[in-house]
Structure 1
Amino acid sequence: MSKMKNMRTALLFLLVTMISLSISAQNVTVKGTVKDKTGETVIGASVVQKGNTGNGTITDIDGNFTLSVPGNATLVISYVGMTTQEVALKGKTQINVVLEDDAQALEEVVVIGYGTAKKKDLTGAVSTVKGADLAKVPVTNAAEALTGKLAGVQITTTDGSPDAEMIIKVRGGGSITGDSSPLYIVDGFPVSSISDIAPTDIEDITVLKDAASTAIYGSQGANGVILITTKGAKGGKTTVSYNGYVQGKTIRKTLDVMNPYQFVMYNYERQALRGASAIRGFEERYGAYGDLDLYKYQQGHNWQEEMFDNSDLSQSHNISITGGSEKTKFTLSGTYANDNSLMENNGYRRYNMNFKLKHELYKNLSLDFGARLADTETKGVGTGGGSYKIRSYDALMKAPVNGLYDQIDIDPSTLPEEEYEEYVNATRSLKDQVNDYWRRKNERRYNFNAAINWNITKNFTYRAEGGYDYTFFQQKDWYGPRSSKAVQDGQGLPMGEWEKKDSWKLRAAHTLTWKQKFNKIHDVNIMVGQEYVASNSESNEIIGKFFQEDITPEKMFASMAANSGATGSRTISSQLGQEDRTISFFGRANYSLLDKYLLTFTIRADGSSKFTKGNRWGYFPAAALAWRVIEEPFMEPAKEFMSNLKLRLSYGTAGNNRIGNSLYETSYKAYSGGKYYGAGEEQNPHYTLNNDQLANPDLKWETTITRNVGLDFGFFNERLTGSIDYYWNTVKDLLIEQSITAIGYKTMQQNIGQTSNRGVELSLNAAILQKKDYSLNFNFNIGFNKNKVDKLANGISSMSYNSGAFSSDMRGRDDYRVIVGEPLGIVWGFVYDGIYGVDDFVTYTDDNGKTQFQFDKSGNYILKEGVTDNTYTTASSYGGLRPGAMKLKDQDGDGKITEKGDRVIIGRTQPKFTGGFGLSGNYKWFDISANFNFVVGNDVYNMDKMVSSQSYRNSYANLRAEMAPVTLGGRAWTYLDQSNGTIITDYETLKAMNANASYWSATTMSDNNPVPTSWAVEDGSFLRLQNLTVGFTLPKDWTRKFACNQLRLYCTLNNLFCITGYDGYDPEVNSAIRNSKTSGVTPGADYSAYPKSFSWTAGVNITF
């Protein structure tokens, strides 16, 4: 009986076990909801069966999911930025999951050179910005969105034009005439610019700042490295998103100029100083002196508003699609951006396409493929000066009234030629003048990348990657018959210039990585690699002249392409570049002991075709140590409030080879046109020297040595994080273009001199409030940098450079210096020393006891003995040196102002510190963010102020408001007796009339020769509210009705205000001669800068 009972029990147990096994083997449908700790649903969270990654799904718009799995399965639920959870079902078919925020922000993966690393394992100075933060700023240029967000990274917009160059310097740069911009790497491929990348396509941006981080890039990493990763393939359910906005712009600031009455009175005085014939010319245009009071009631034309009043809206539209399966993932995006300008017929248009594919070929073998296409067009000439007539200061200096020309119908055919020219120029608007010039600049870039990833074993990974980049560039410039270019070079007939350039770059790289952990305390990661990069270009230029007067730009360039339509010369210039090749071998070893003592060693060897065989190879080692102090036992008490403390130390070298190809040998250029060789009447190609630069076979690498000490910290579970770094960079063997005396040559590239940068950087990020319905975050960064020229060539203490402004007109053209012991960007000129008063000139007492001036035989004022003579800057045609003229400081004590003896340092354009800060937060469905940036301690060389305080090359110029006579509400000296229109020379009358004058009379300055003085150098410090954004995200129970995951509406105000003492259009400027060889040593110049705009933006973000 007992045996039978035991047998029944055993059979029953076996039956229950078999049933349980059967149930667990069968699939069940599990449903669940995923939320965050605030109770908000998590959309797009990954839900995968553990051990079977092919069986998974993502949560929907309500955070719900449904998945068929075995009854005893374990689910793995994950989402970016949150901790991953594993849930064992144990037969349950309904679960609710709450994901916590990932408190371990230190586990965040950061892109570094040729790989990635966890943030906690970094030993170098690295800063990152997430693409989501960039996307919140509606701009067309990714660099502009970075402004003020990274410590030690100064981003300067040259001006406000749509295609304005963005100058980026990491820790001050160091080259003198070489390129100081950082190396840009986009998805592993080196590029020359990031201006053609749509900000909405960016996943994240990493900036490598010290040699421990940049040495892996060897010869190109001396000025820092900016790594951009575009949005990658993520797989899962197909998602479609749209981001778009429209934008309107207005000029943010206009400058005060003379009103019509001040204008005519000043110009009458100017002509009266020249004599009776000049007065007659004035009266023919503006009327008799007795009638000039009528101009008090006439409203002047606001040329600034006309020139910068374009009301066309800008717009941007981006559509992206992501999706795929477990094995094949893709993302595709397209962007159209049209950034219209403040000036009519000026603007910037761009098309972008970005595609990425990730495919698992086999279990341990995968393929990455990427394609980026960009097509940009810039139209209009802007205010760039050079060959173009239109400059921003034309809007200040053009006459606000035309006098009788506006009141009387004149038959131009009855006028003499000179009067006809004057009449036409006076009555043409600035818009008419803008239309005398036509420009189209196009650039198309095609970039393709592919890579194979092979996980050879658990510890070894091999990656082979290759890429190709092709760029087509062309620029067409049309000069109408009334343009200065056509008048000077084309006999007053239309002419055109057409430049084309094709360039390509090829890259191949291989890396092998070994990762191994020993005894749970030693962690080793070693990577070795090889890379080959080759590039070349070919350019052509066609110049056509003497076209028929009514030809359009389109017809002209069609004729130039077909070699027809021109009645005169047609010149073709072609240049085939020499291939630039670099082959590299590199390696990096990371070692971690107990996850708290970290060591990194990096080395790279580069061989470049830019140097001769003896100097071709450069070697760039670097080492770094880090100590995660927070992991020490003695830090246990501090962990209650401190979550991270890491000390970093690095030393290393990086190089710079950014010079032209083959500067070690003489090169030639082929020309067609101008000369005939051989038989017949065809103009055959002939060869001439390529340039005025002598070859130098001894050129070698420019090398940067960096030292860095840093501290990373975090408090309150990473709610407050930050870092502080001290660095000292030295750049030696500078690649400098040096003037020489060799016959037939002007310059030679040489390795001479040394510069240094020392500085401190601080970054802070704080999550001040983190609640279910509201949050508030704050970020701050500041960078102090001291730049210095340590030495130049033997025996040389300074070098002269020319800003290029005003061509040969400017007195003291070499207005910049590079001086040993000083920072780069030194402005060189005269020190303003006030105004000559009546007591600076010889006087006598007449028979009536009155003080009178004594004049020489020519009728000129006579300076008293001991008073500095500044006839150098005064205009003899207006009476020469006299009371009310500008006084300059006599530096050498010889009593006379000269270029050689009296010019000194009048400005330092390098800032003392730069930075930015921002606030962001949300309340329920509303979000708000504000970003500020600041620059402190730099000077701006205000050339527009200099030229608009004198009648520069203008018969009847308007001037800045303060240059109006003091008797008419201005601040400048005057000589005019307003009661009768005569010039006053009486001592007492002049003294009393100008008692409150604080500016010189513009009539004392030469019309054709601007003078660089300290008066034109101003403090360029500023604090700018870069952008303010308010957004509203529709509640999900609204958007789910039309199958929308998310819909956000927002409004942004850009450049809302700028607090500064600078009285030009904007202190953030660098516009002397753009893209010139010496632009790096002539910074901070405000020469005809395109004004920056205030803009409003209305946009929408939608995800389906």
Structure 2
Amino acid sequence: MRKLFTSLAACVLIILLFTGEAFSQNIVVKGRVTDVANGETLIGVSIKVKGAAQGTSTDANGAFTITVAPNATLVFTYIGFEPAEVPVNNQTTLTVTMKTSASALEEVVVVGYGTQRKSDVTGSVAKIKGADIASQPVLAATQAIQGRVAGVQIISSGDPNALPTVRIRGTGTMKGGANPLYVVDGIITEDIRNINNADIVSMDILKDASATAIYGMRAANGVLLITTKKGKQGKMVISYDAHTGVKEAANLVDMAGPAQYAGYLNEANVYYGSGDELITTDQIANGANTDWYDAILKKGFQQNHNLSLSGGTEDLTYFFSAGYLSDAGIIETNNFNRFTLRSNNEYNATKWLKLSSLISFSRLNNRGVDLGAFNVAYRAAPYIASKVNDLYGNTSLSNNVGNPLLSLEKVDNRTLGNRLQGSFALDVKPVSWLSLRSSFGVDLDFLRSTNYGYQFANVGANSVFLTEGGNQLRDKSDLTVISNNATKWVWDNTATFNKIFDKHSVNVLVGVTSEYYRFNGLEGKRVNVPADRDQWYLGAGSTTGATNNNTGDKWARNSYISRLNYAYDNRYLLTATFRADGTSRFPSSNRWGYFPSVGLGWNIAEEDFMKGQKTLTTFKIRGSWGKVGNDQINTNVYFPIAAINLPYFYDGVEYSGIAFDQLPDRNVKWETTEEYDLGLDYGFINNRLTGEIDYYHKKTTDALIDIRIPAILGDADALYTTNAATFTNRGLEFGIHWTDKINDNWSYNIGGNVSYNKNEITGLNGGQALVEGNIGGNQGNVTRSDNGQPIGSFYIYEATGIFQDAEEIAASAQKDARPGDLRYRDLGGPDGTPDGVINEFDRTYVGSYQPKYTFGINGSLTYKSFDLSINTYGTAGGKIYNGKKASRLDQRDNLEAAVVKNRWTPDRPSGTDPRANLAQLPASTYFLEKGDFFRINNLTLGYAVPKEKLSRFFIDRLRVFVAAQNLATITGYSGFTPEIISGNPLNAGIESNIYPTTRTFTFGVNIGL
């Protein structure tokens, strides 16, 4: 690598020497191009010397540098704007403004290591403006783009500190990390919760392999590029944006009350059990009427404040911001706070040298909660009080679950995080057609978690229970402290050649990038630590039963990148990329992967035969092919790791030993995704009507999966990670958007998108299906991934109804059933013929969580100073397994009110819900529900005070607004939320311990000085 950078430096020196004569004869002209209407800088403006082939274009800040003769004339052209000719007249600095033409402004998108006009893009790329992201009261920016981009599924959570799950064009892996790559100002990361949404200029989403291949091994699941704000030349601008509001659970499950609960259990036991009453009349009469969800939930207060200062001169621009976010959550004891700082600066040291720094700091303080409290609240008996006079109700008198409120309040789980992220770049432009850039980015993450469990008793005069005899206790306090430190750096070095020759436009990028990561984790636990928070240190506790653990990780990557962008007369487009990636995650024999791509485009609207017509403004056909990789697996899967200090017994004596409990694959290699994409971008009536249509086919080969080792070879639960699967994602995407202005007072826009995706496993080497989704008890595992099925398919019994009488039972395969029991389809033994027995061979595939369709409808309306916007989102075709309902293990667990109301009885036969029962039912379609939903994600009404009314207050901008987030959801699902997924694609879509989706009402203000 040292030789490579020495060669680059030598090239720069040679270029400087050979171009010295040109510098001496011509002058260097620098400038900036803006939109005359609103002063916004324009990116990608084409600049040519009149009468010559020489030219350049503006960068991401709207700036340009070009060497020309003192008497030259510069011609500025930009799609959507009227051309402008500006005489140089021996000036070295120009400020150019361009007027919007009849057609709409051409969008500029950020691509890997650069920018492009949307009209020049040959891949599938979508852009979301930062203003649309900042307008929603959410922690992570990705949650704000739900329903806005075709082919992008966002699964959100009500948890204040949760990072939404993102799936771009289906599930892209079975094990090796299914999340997309995030790139923030050039810094590669997996977590963007440290980014203040108010600091974001835009988010560009790269969807197909042609667009993502420049990121190679990191791009198998798509790429999200986030660009943050920078200062602009001019006076200082001060902005303050804030909102405050309250959030609540958007939907709760209605549980049985005391009388319903007792009636159901007693009916089950009297008629179908021992004949005794499980819950007596006195217990109900003397008990409480507890809504356990009401006991553990609250209305959470939320506030967000952002202050920024920006401005600059010709030589220096700056942007500073500070933000504070507080979200109390909706669960008792939950609370989250985040403070952010950002400083983005650029310094033009000379006419050909620019220095820039983008630095951000975030600090979070989170008191988390155990989401198992929701499952416990679902099962707890309703006639037991939650808490009276600081004493907790004893739920163990009725069933074996603990008091969920006690579980929450007697644990203090806090996480403090400090994260420093920054990049430092050096841009050298020795001549107008060559740019050299070296950027070094760092990401330092320091996390400290303190989990304190308070001591509490269960018997005696000081019992915290209303009634003695409870089984919920902690006889000794305990403290667990975890310290995790992670360091990552990325060093990018690129050279970009950009030249316009008559009708030919050529842009060539070459470079090298290196990435390094190191992690160190330290964990310790002590008991009998004092309850005083100031004494929560491991040294204050007892060493009896103490535990300590120290872990770590380290990996490195090195890559070589290249890209060619060619355009002829803005009509015929070519993009070709090639990236070579090396990673330490794989053995040396398989360490390198090679990822090419090519994209072609044809701007038909620019053809001569399209001139003169005014209907079709934009019409571009594009096609692409490419390969990307995935190395997101543990760093130790290809070599054996020894587990130490394992106890074993010999002759009645315990010894400590060492064991190799992992069977490594020493030939593990890259997971590779190959994708084809065919797209159409269109615009009608001066681009008032715009949209895109895409068809894609993604095939992932050598997919990394865990294979269960046969018991004959050792531990039956041991897993073996290897490349042993192939699957596809195929789909269609359609987007449409209409923007119009009725008159000077009224304007509006409306748009929508819909996408279809089919996921299918086409090859499991060895034929071993992957079984996951363990519910426990009689349910067992409920998902199975096998050939011909989507990843994470539900594999359960098919419930076909309810037995109504003995005659139906006699004619079935369930001879021991009773009237009121669920009836299951007899699919037969291994040969597929009915065998009169219901067993494991009768399980069948009944769909998966993965939706077939995702869609959104968005729009806005403006009248004078008022604005109204709406954002919606939905999915269809996916299934949800009601795991909380299915995991009813204890005979005294509570039930949903609908189950009690609709249960089968001899005098009220039901065709949907079985008779009252005390045992856990087998896994079947009775617990499987449609996951379809349609949601109003955001509704905002704002009013901007006219500028003439603000001038005497020295205020340039003042807007007030009210907004509702997750205002309403239309769904047939009976649980908390149909938005359910897990980090493991093999068991997604099972509702068990889940943070409910929240509804938020906010009031806010935007002020500019």
TM-score (norm 1): 0.78
How is 1:1000-1019 mapped onto 2 (pairs within 5 angstroms)? 1000-1003=914-917, 1005-1006=918-919, 1009=920, 1011-1019=922-930
Partner-residue secondary structure (3-state), 1:530: strand
Are 1:531 and 2:513 an aligned pair?
Answer: yes
Give 1:467 deviation, angstroms: 1.2
Cα distance in 2 for residues equivalent to 1:379 and 1:814: 33
User: Are the counterparts in 2 of residues 575 and 669 from structure 1 also a CA contact under 8 Å?
Assistant: no
Letter of the structure 2 residue corresponding to residue 118 of structure 1: R
Cα contact 1:810–1:1010 (8 A) shared by 2: no
Change in CA separation of 1:274 and 1:482 when aligned onto 2, cut-off 3 Å: farther
Q: Residue 911 of structure 1 is aligned with which of 821, 828, 851? A: 851
Range with greater deviation from structure 2 (351-360 or 659-668) = 659-668
1:522 aligns with 2:504: yes
Q: What's the offset of the Cα at 1:483? A: 10
Instruction: Confirm or deny: 8 A CA contact 1:83 1:101 kept in the other structure.
Output: yes
The answer on 1:468 being equivalent to 2:435 is no
Indicate conservation of the 8 Å contact 1:178/1:1080, yes or no.
no
What is residue 583 of structure 1 aligned with on the other side?
558
Q: What is the correspondence of 1:686-705 to structure 2 with a 5 Å cutoff? A: 692-705=661-674
Among 715, 718, 734, the alignment partner of 2:687 is 718
CA separation of 1:661/1:102 partners in 2, compared to 1, >3 Å: closer, same or farther? Answer: farther
Q: Cα gap change, 1:397/1:615 in structure 2, threshold over 3 Å: closer, same or farther? A: closer
Distance 1:728 1:79 in 2: 34
Aligned partner of residue 220 in structure 2, secondary structure: coil
| Distance (Å, rounded) in 2 between the aligned partners of 1:443 and 1:406 | 33
Corresponding residue number in structure 2 for 1:231: 229
Match of 1:753, SS?
A: strand
Q: 1:828 aligns with which of 776, 791, 795?
A: 795
Q: Once the 2 structures are TM-superposed, how far is the Cα of residue 888 of structure 1 from its aligned partner?
A: 2.3
The 1-side partners of 2:512 and 2:390 are apart by: 76
Residues 433 and 483 of structure 1 are in contact (CA less than 8 Å); yes or no, is this contact kept in structure 2?
no
Structure 2 residue 534 is matched with structure 1 residue 571: no
SS at match of 1:315: strand
The answer to whether 1:311 aligns with 2:311 is no
- 2:628 aligned partner: 654
Secondary structure at the aligned position of 1:313 is classed as: strand
Distance 2:531 2:148 in 1: 46
CA shift for structure 1 position 763 = 1.6
1: CA distance, partners of 2:239 / 2:78: 19
Partner of 1:780 in structure 2? Answer: 752
The 8 Å contact of residues 179 and 1080 in structure 1, kept in 2 or not, is answered as: no
1:743 partner amino acid: G
Find the partner of 2:354 among 359, 366, 370.
366
Unaligned runs of 5+ in 2: 1-33, 49-70, 90-95, 459-463, 465-469, 829-833
Give the letter for the 2:369 counterpart.
V
* Residue 894 (str. 1) matches residue 835 (str. 2): yes
What is the number of residues matched between the two proteins?
922
SS in 1 for 2:765: coil
CA deviations 1:421-473 (Å, max 9, x no partner) are: 84598999643342133211333211120111000112111001111111112
Q: Compare 612-621 and 811-820 and name the one that shifted more.
A: 811-820
CA distance in 2, matches of 1:531, 1:525: 19
Give the 3 Å change call, closer, same or farther, for CA 960–715 of structure 1 in structure 2: same
Q: Which amino acid aligns with 1:303?
A: W
Partners of 2:347 and 2:189 in 1: CA distance: 26
User: Offset at 1:382?
Assistant: 4.4
User: Aligned in 2, Cα 1:810/1:1033: closer, same or farther, shift over 3 Å?
Assistant: same
Matched, 1:620 2:595: yes
**Aligned pair in 2 of structure 1 residues 332, 669: CA closer, same or farther (>3 Å)?**
farther
- Are the counterparts in 2 of residues 509 and 529 from structure 1 also a CA contact under 8 Å? yes
Aligned to 1:844: none
Offset of residue 379 of structure 1? 1.2
Query: 1:592-649 CA distances to partner (integer Å, 9 max, x unpaired)?
Result: 2222111111100011111122111111111111111112122224x31111111111
Q: Which amino acid aligns with 1:825?
A: G
Aligned to 2:942: 1031
Distance in 1 between residues matched to 2:139 and 2:800, nearest whole Å:
45
Secondary structure in 2 matching 1:568 = strand
| Residues 921-947 of structure 1: CA deviation (Å, up to 9, x unaligned) | 211110010001110111111112334
Match of 2:377 in 1: 395
| 2:151 is the counterpart of 1:152 | yes
Q: CA deviation at 1:998?
A: 4.5
Aligned 1:585-984 pairs, distance under 5 A: 585-637=560-612, 639-668=613-642, 692-741=661-710, 742-743=713-714, 746-769=718-741, 771-796=743-768, 798-801=769-772, 803-805=773-775, 809-840=776-807, 864=810, 866-869=811-814, 881-892=817-828, 893-898=834-839, 900-947=840-887, 952-953=889-890, 955=892, 957-964=893-900, 970-974=901-905
Q: Which amino acid aligns with 2:542?
A: A
The one-letter code matched in structure 2 to 1:113 is G
Tell me, in whole angstroms, the C-alpha distance in 2 between the residues paired with 1:670 and 1:767.
66
Asked if 2 retains the 8 angstrom alpha-carbon contact of 1:154 and 1:914, the reply is: yes
CA distance in 1, matches of 2:951, 2:480: 57
Tell me the residue number matched to 1:509: 492
Distance 1:931 1:281 in 2: 49
Q: Check 1:573–1:225 CA distance in 2 against 1; reply closer, same or farther (3 A cut).
A: same
CA contact (8 A) 2:35 2:41 kept: no
Measure the CA separation in 1 of the matches of 2:969 and 2:342.
36
User: 1:147 Cα shift?
Assistant: 0.8
The structure with the greater share of residues assigned to strand is 2
Distance 1:430 1:314, change over 3 A: same
Matching of residue 1093 in structure 1 with residue 998 in structure 2: yes
Task: Determine the C-alpha separation between the residues in 1 that align with 2:279 and 2:566.
Answer: 84
On the 8 A contact 2:801/2:822 being kept in 1, the answer is: yes
Q: Say if 1:702 and 1:1048 are closer, same or farther in 2 by CA, change over 3 A.
A: same
- Cα deviation for residue 701 of structure 1 reads 0.7
User: Are the counterparts in 1 of residues 854 and 876 from structure 2 also a CA contact under 8 Å?
Assistant: yes
Give the drift of 1:962. Answer: 2.6
Contact 1:907 1:1014 in 2 (8 A): no
1:770/1:376 CA distance change after superposition, 3 Å = farther
Q: Is 1:870–1:888's contact at 8 Å kept on the other side of the alignment?
A: no
Task: Please state how far the C-alpha of 1:160 moved relative to its aligned partner.
Answer: 2.1
* Equivalent residue number for residue 55 of structure 2: none
Residues 208, 225 of structure 1: 8 Å contact kept? yes
Cross-structure match for 1:445: 419
Q: Is 1:1084 aligned with 2:992?
A: no
1:106-125 deviations in whole A, cap 9, x for unaligned?
Answer: 64322100111111111111
Residues 128 and 581 of structure 1: is their aligned pair in 2 closer, same or farther, counting only changes over 3 Å? Answer: same
Distance 1:600 1:45 in 2: 26
Tell me the SS of whatever aligns to 2:691: strand
Which piece of structure 1 moves more, 1044-1053 or 501-510? 501-510
The one-letter code sitting in structure 2 at the alignment partner of 1:533 is E
3-state SS, counterpart of residue 903 of structure 2: coil
Give the CA RMSD over aligned residues.
3.7
Instruction: Give the letter for the 1:345 counterpart.
Output: T
Q: How do 1:214-229 and structure 2 match up within 5 A?
A: 214-229=212-227
Task: Please give the secondary structure, in 2, of the residue aligned with 1:759.
Answer: strand
Cα distance in 2, alignment partners of residues 883 and 202 from structure 1 = 62
Match of 1:345 in 2: 333
Task: Determine the C-alpha separation between the residues in 2 that align with 1:1045 and 1:410.
Answer: 54
* Counterpart residue number, 1:31: none
Query: CA offsets, 1:662-703, max 9 Å, x none?
Result: 3211234677x9999xxxxxx99x9956x8432221011111
Inter-CA distance 438–488: structure 2 relative to 1 (3 Å threshold):
farther
Q: Alignment partner for residue 543 of structure 1, among 519, 525, 533?
A: 525
Between the aligned partners of 1:322 and 1:532, the Cα distance in structure 2 is 32
Deviation, 1:800, is 1.3
The structure-2 alpha-carbon separation of the partners of 1:166 and 1:961, relative to structure 1 and needing over 3 Å to count, comes to same
| DSSP-derived class of the 2:265 partner | helix
| Structure 1 residue 278 displacement after superposition | 4.8
- Per the alignment, residue 195 of structure 1 pairs with 193
Shift of 1:88: 10
Q: Deviations over 1:311-367 (max 9, x none)?
A: 341100000110121100010111110112111211222111111110001110000
